[in-house]
Structure 1
């Protein structure tokens, strides 16, 4: 997996990529958000999430989502001025209404509340309703791990992309699942972040921008057969569930997607008819069950056992979920965040549409 880091576009586009500093990327995103009318603190917080995501190598959920957010804003589905409000609250649970604002803002508030409740009660649960896309699910789970807490972060998506096993039509979103567990080095937690489709839709967009054909098993055509043309797949919006076919375990991915839909939308009241998104966060304090030293000791032993497994290829050791993101974070902080030329032009178009300054240029600043 480490060998694949920063190779998302390798060989996909003959044009040279630009490398942008995290600071410049942050300024560009904030410039767009504030042009929409978003409050400065909310714009900066949402940009923090997006830039950290790109630094971690999750190119599908950082600035690559900006054109989509611009469409939501232009269609009136995203209110950049909305401030999330608490609808219900008790010592362990809270329900937050995003009021159709950008999902990052409401998700940050909800996770902060869940973390505080877990510190006080050992368990914190937060739901968000009336929201929009919140970026990478793993960002919020990692927030809790930084406080020594275990966390699950889920979100549904109102745009259907996942085709159920035996079906032809998309019925659920990619509905990702993220889980984080703290380690003795709190800045490097175990971090699982996965779509319940075979691949996130953003990866299809990456392939489209780079002119790359898709591997079989990612996307489907109207007859339920594999679709490998990235441009066609991006337009058709039909993704296979995690596992692919019934024989390969696709029913498991479909079932997980349904679980996420129930917890994020049915439970919170996010209305599919109103194109609303819901989020769900669960935070657990391991200190309720045992001492921190005992928990961390067993965590270290577990991870050491996994890392010690003999690999198939000696040049590629067994990894722990979160290792690739951590490695990408270190490298991209030093070398910058790579942007494919097509994405740079899409960001330029977003700036032109909303009147924000285009700051990326050649990425040298």
Structure 2
């Protein structure tokens, strides 16, 4: 698979967003989030999202001049309106606002409404440990792709949750996960790369596994017959808990902010109407609970214990959340970001419509 230098990917994203008419700072922030997402190995939420954003732009759903604004706030909370722009600038704004409140009051909680897709939740949670804080992020989602436990049609999104905490000797703990068996865009990545899906990620309307990625992606995006399983897969009790977790995430990211719930919104949404997605950001100052440095020291010890666990395969040491992203970032900075030919072809179309040169091989 062709490897493309990170700065080439950044330049490509930047040229496209600029041609669309986004403000320079919004372009910088969005390109940074998307690039770091690809470097972390989350191929489903980086540069491969440009086709989706282009579709929303051409339908008139995106406010390309959006500037996030605070609607209401107090010392520890705030509500932000993303003004129907791409979610990345509003999410960075919201997380940094929560962090500033946490530094003053010990905790900060910010919700965002009237937003669009914001990429990988883990990026925003990871902003907190860089400043000695604990971060948590959740988001409602636009697409309806997850079949509720005992259901036959999809009603929920993949509703992500991310959590990050600072250490000293070790990389920060960084958990980033969907509340479904996989993120729906991972099905897209499997389709782009021509790789079959694991059985249990996607079911048809009869509850049978779908392993062909093209068929699964068509079901998720076009026919809506069957869909992703909740976290826990096909085992009913585990699936039920995953379904409940997905609803918890929507309550925090969507209901609390006053954003939309996709099954309800889709009844009346016109092609040009914004998605009105909601996000949730929380930051906690551990020094409010512990002496300075004690939290990080204890977390380091816990991570060390996990790393020291005897591995079932000596060639594959025990991983802690955040390890794969750190390893991927180092490797891809050195070697480049893999861009399948099928993705490069679609990016060429985006570039043509934007009137900018395509930098992909």
User: Which residue does the alignment assign to 1:25?
Assistant: 9
> Could you tell me which of 200, 225, 230 is aligned with 2:208?
225
Q: Distance in 2 between matches of 1:239 and 1:291?
A: 44
Q: Distance in 2 between matches of 1:212 and 1:336?
A: 21
User: Which residue does the alignment assign to 2:219?
Assistant: 236
The answer on 1:194 being equivalent to 2:183 is: no
Q: Distance in 1 between matches of 2:196 and 2:286?
A: 45
Q: Distance in 2 between matches of 1:297 and 1:110?
A: 28
The answer on 1:258 being equivalent to 2:217 is: no
User: Which residue does the alignment assign to 1:66?
Assistant: 50
- 1:151-162, aligned counterparts within 5 Å? 151-162=135-146
User: Which residue does the alignment assign to 1:310?
Assistant: 310
The answer on 1:344 being equivalent to 2:344 is: yes
> Could you tell me which of 25, 46, 50 is aligned with 1:41?
25
Q: Distance in 2 between matches of 1:268 and 1:308?
A: 42
Q: Distance in 1 between matches of 2:137 and 2:106?
A: 17
Q: Distance in 1 between matches of 2:60 and 2:250?
A: 24
Q: Distance in 2 between matches of 1:292 and 1:171?
A: 45
- Normalised by the size of structure 2, how large is the TM-score? 0.93
- Could you tell me how far 1:271 is from its partner in structure 2? 2.2
- Could you tell me how far 1:158 is from its partner in structure 2? 2.1
The answer on 1:51 being equivalent to 2:40 is: no
- 1:287-306, aligned counterparts within 5 Å? 287-306=287-306
Q: Deviations over 1:219-253 (max 9, x none)?
A: 11122221111111101111111111244611111
**Comparing 118-127 and 201-210, the one that deviates more:** 201-210
- Could you tell me how far 1:156 is from its partner in structure 2? 1.0
Structure 2 residue matching 1:128: 3-state secondary structure = strand
Q: Distance in 2 between matches of 1:219 and 1:355?
A: 37
- Could you tell me how far 1:311 is from its partner in structure 2? 1.2
Q: Would you say the 8 A contact 1:96–1:127 is kept in 2? A: yes
Q: Distance in 2 between matches of 1:56 and 1:271?
A: 29
Q: Would you say the 8 A contact 1:165–1:246 is kept in 2? A: no
Structure 2 residue matching 1:130: 3-state secondary structure = strand
Q: Deviations over 1:149-181 (max 9, x none)?
A: 001111110211111100011111100110001
Structure 1 residue matching 2:313: 3-state secondary structure = coil
- 1:263-302, aligned counterparts within 5 Å? 263-272=252-261, 273=265, 274=269, 275-302=275-302
Q: Distance in 2 between matches of 1:337 and 1:95?
A: 36
Q: Distance in 2 between matches of 1:324 and 1:311?
A: 16
- Could you tell me how far 1:18 is from its partner in structure 2? 1.8
- 1:116-195, aligned counterparts within 5 Å? 116-185=100-169, 188-195=171-178
Q: Would you say the 8 A contact 2:311–2:318 is kept in 1? A: yes
User: Which residue does the alignment assign to 2:224?
Assistant: none
Q: Would you say the 8 A contact 1:158–1:172 is kept in 2? A: no
Q: Distance in 1 between matches of 2:355 and 2:279?
A: 31
Q: Deviations over 1:237-286 (max 9, x none)?
A: 11111111244611111111100111111111112425321100111000
Structure 2 residue matching 1:249: 3-state secondary structure = helix
Structure 1 residue matching 2:8: 3-state secondary structure = helix
- Could you tell me how far 1:356 is from its partner in structure 2? 2.6
Segments of structure 1 that go 5 or more residues without pairing to the other structure are 1-16
Q: Would you say the 8 A contact 1:214–1:227 is kept in 2? A: yes
User: Which residue does the alignment assign to 1:4?
Assistant: none
